[in-house]
Amino acid sequence: MNNSYWVYILASKRNGTLYVGVTGDLSRRIYEHKENLNDGFTKKYNINQLIYIEEFQDIIEAIHREKCLKKWNRAWKLRLIEEQNPDWRDLYETVT
């Protein structure tokens, strides 16, 4: 079985509010964020641009990475995003 798990970062806009999440179905989960299907932080602050992704084969590792990223300070997260996605392109079309 070849399952993938994803840690992702969403933004409201370039250098805007950030959200870190983890999922086993990246396309579905980002669609839910984009369509505001779930109440919560991302809906409240209109956070729906997929700007960073990491793939894992082990859910435990993915959850651990998500928890670590959530503890990072903002500057570290911005540096991570800029390294992979300097133009802050919405990566959603690359995962659908």
In degrees, rounded to 5, the angle at the alpha carbon of residue 27 between the alpha carbons of residues 30 and 57 is 110
Domains in the chain, ordered, with CATH? 5-95 (3.40.1440.10)
- 31-59 pLDDT, tens digit each: 999 999 999 999 999 999 999 999 999 99
Q: What percent of the chain has pLDDT over 90?
A: 95
Q: Cα(49)–Cα(10) distance, rounded to whole angstroms?
A: 5
The model's pTM: 0.94
DSSP 42-59: HHHTT--EEEEEEEES-H
